[in-house]
Chain A
Amino acid sequence: DGGITQSPKYLFRKEGQNVTLSCEQNLNHDAMYWYRQDPGQGLRLIYYSQIVNDFQKGDIAEGYSVSREKKESFPLTVTSAQKNPTAFYLCASRQGEDSGNTIYFGEGSWLTVV
């Protein structure tokens, strides 16, 4: 089945640690996105990438970093500079314009600081 796989589902981070959330897609989409969702809130864009080896900051990029070395993969690193990282993180990819631009989401990853 085609889709987006995020791992791990639950992750605990100690103060001062960097952690990396994995996002893999087999939909052959060029564009990929990372969103943060706090409880009871909407989605806020962290980073997005429209093509391999290129990415742009979203609205809340501070304290996060990404890479896009392969079309299928768009990992997100939450660095120690992110002061309040506890949240639900969602990865998404987007169809091309000729296919309707539909966005598909992974199942999300919960990050908790302990």
Chain B
Amino acid sequence: AQSVTQLDSQVPVFEEAPVELRCNYSSSVSVYLFWYVQYPNQGLQLLLKYLSGSTLVKGINGFEAEFNKSQTSFHLRKPSVHISDTAEYFCAVISYSSASKIIFGSGTRLSIRP
């Protein structure tokens, strides 16, 4: 069975500092990987996705993520955060063999301190 683990429920960071939000998954088949951002009282917005090819994926708002197949990880990074990055971030996985089943992580709340 597939699963997604976001290792940190909350990550406090000072403004302009770098940040890494961790995501690990388990699956016996190949997967598509996604990161979403949710601002308060809004739906989820796609940040970036990994389908195939280069393992380093760049997304919107200066975020990037690296797919590591051997460690089954897809960590999200940003070199310098801004107050406006305060939000909830969700990692998600879809397997090649069962695209109807989307597995979301439990989310990581990123709070930026001035």
Binding site for B on A (CB under 8 A): 4, 6, 31, 33, 40-43, 45, 48, 50, 88, 90, 92, 94, 97, 100-108, 110
Binding site for A on B (CB under 8 A): 32, 34, 36, 41-46, 49, 51, 90, 92, 94, 99-100, 102, 104-107, 109
Interface of B is mostly: strand
- State the Cβ distance, B24 to closest chain A Cβ, in Å: 15
Asked if A33 contacts B102 (CB within 8 A), the reply is yes
The complex places the Cα of A92 from the Cα of B36 at a distance, in Å, of 13
The complex places the Cα of A103 from the Cα of B43 at a distance, in Å, of 11
Asked if B49 contacts A105 (CB within 8 A), the reply is no
Q: Which of B41, B100, B102, B105 contacts A108 (CB 8 A)?
A: B41
Query: Which residues of B have CB within 8 Å of A90?
Result: 43-44
- State the Cβ distance, B54 to closest chain A Cβ, in Å: 15
- State the Cβ distance, A85 to closest chain B Cβ, in Å: 18
- Would you list 26 pairs from A and B whose C-beta atoms are within 8 A, ordered by A residue? A6-B43, A31-B99, A40-B109, A41-B106, A41-B107, A42-B104, A42-B106, A42-B107, A43-B104, A45-B102, A48-B100, A50-B100, A88-B41, A90-B43, A101-B32, A101-B99, A102-B34, A103-B46, A104-B46, A105-B36, A105-B43, A105-B44, A106-B43, A107-B42, A107-B43, A108-B43
